[in-house]
Amino acid sequence: MTTDRYLVTGGAGFIGSHLVHALVARGLQVRVLDNFSTGKRENLAGLDREIELTNGDIRDPDTVTRVMVGVTHVLHQAALPSVARSVANPRESHEVNASGTLSLLLAARDAGARRFVYASSSSAYGGSPELPKLESMPTRPRSPYAVSKLAAEQYCRVYHELFGVETVSLRYFHVFGPRQDPGSPYSAVIPRFITAHLKGERPVVHGDGGQTRDFTYVENVVHANLLAAAVPGVGGTVFNVGCGERISLLDLLSALGDLTGNHPEPIFESPRPGDVRDSLADIGQARARLGYEPIVPLSEGLRRTVAFFGRPEPGRHDPVPVGSAPVMN
């Protein structure tokens, strides 16, 4: 009987570390590959004896080949995030997000991995005003980041069609939660807003604040990954992973103000190049074929995230409970 072994790329990062904790909690064998460019060792605190950890880069073929030996499931989270970063350095975004994914697909095919779950992005849809976003819609990426994520998604489809690798691409919609880094100049909006509220500082809004997002708590993304790794008959498929609801940035600021007790006036700056105006996931296909349902609504996710960022530093890296999902056999 073959023992399942899971490789989590970017496993020391925000989403990846939540996946690692969830897999370990289910008693599964876990291998982590991370180059710690954005990931943090403290995100995996307490797991030293539970996981195999390799400090390496997905762009290095020798490293990727070595860590893929014996792997049955790949949960590929490693990426160079941020639209703004990709506008500043498009070549690096492509090399990590597209070429790095191709390197992993080659190694997964040669190692005989059964399932390859890829963290794609809702940015692939681009700026089309049509809502909600359906997986069947044309893609019109507006940034090098979005292009690189879509290119990797297409590599996944081709590797399923040509080589039989069971790839599943999950288009994440604006993921947030504990362990997300608020300090980077490329950090996502929710950790930046929460940090500003807790410090009593004025949050910066790029645009007029009327833009809307389908914000997705990280536990929902973990749930979707576990389903995508387990459900049969979904190879070569793309699924939206969101909550199917949207909120404007101004309403988000108001909700965070209620949670923190601070209501600072925002600073409005020019919209950032490559950003989309509105985003909303249609999750019908994920419901029908994966059995996916959002298990943590936005309001509860915001409450948990504010509580996390309000903790003293030593408690920041405690594992966050993960909702129920099937154990993969």
Q: Give per-residue pLDDT as tens, 195-223.
A: 999 999 999 999 999 999 999 999 999 99
In contact, 36 and 48? CB cutoff 8 Å = no
pLDDT score of 137: 96
pLDDT tens digits for the chain (329 residues)?
A: 468 999 999 999 999 999 999 999 999 999 999 999 999 999 999 999 999 999 999 999 999 999 999 999 999 999 998 888 899 999 999 999 999 999 999 999 999 999 999 999 999 999 888 999 999 999 999 999 999 999 999 999 999 999 999 999 999 999 999 999 887 666 689 999 999 999 999 999 999 999 999 999 999 999 999 999 999 999 999 999 999 999 999 999 999 999 999 999 999 999 988 888 999 999 999 999 999 999 999 999 999 999 999 976 544 444 343 333 333 33
Q: What is the pLDDT of residue 329?
A: 31
Q: Which residues pair with 213 in a beta bridge?
A: 247
The residues spanned by each domain of the chain are 5-315
Q: Which is the catalytic residue, given 145, 155, 159, 292?
A: 145
Using a cut of 0.75, tell me whether the model's pTM lies above it.
yes
Say if residue 270 is exposed, middle or buried (CB neighbours under 10 Å; 0-12, 13-18, 19+). Answer: exposed
Place of tokens 């103000």: 257
Tokens of 258: 């209620």
Residue 150: CB partners within 8 Å, gap ≥ 6? 120, 121, 124, 139, 141
CA distance 62 to 44: 24
Other beta carbons within 10 Å of 155: 20
> What confidence score (pLDDT) does residue 276 get?
87
Residue 312's pLDDT is: 67
Cis bond leading into 132, ω under 30°? yes
The vertex-226 CA angle with 290 and 7, nearest 5°, equals: 135
Q: What CA–CA distance (Å, rounded) separates 108 from 64?
A: 9
pLDDT of res. 128:
85
**Chain centre distance of CA 181:** 13
CA distances 289 to 63, 75, 169, 225, 239, Å, are: 34, 19, 13, 13, 9
Active-site residue, 145 included: yes
Out of 3.60.15.10, 3.30.565.60, 3.40.50.720, 3.30.70.580, the CATH code matching 5-315 is 3.40.50.720
Count other C-beta atoms under 10 Å from residue 76's C-beta: 28
Write the single-letter amino acid at 256.
L
Looking at residue 185, what is its pLDDT?
A: 63
Residues 6+ apart with CB under 8 A from 270: 206, 207
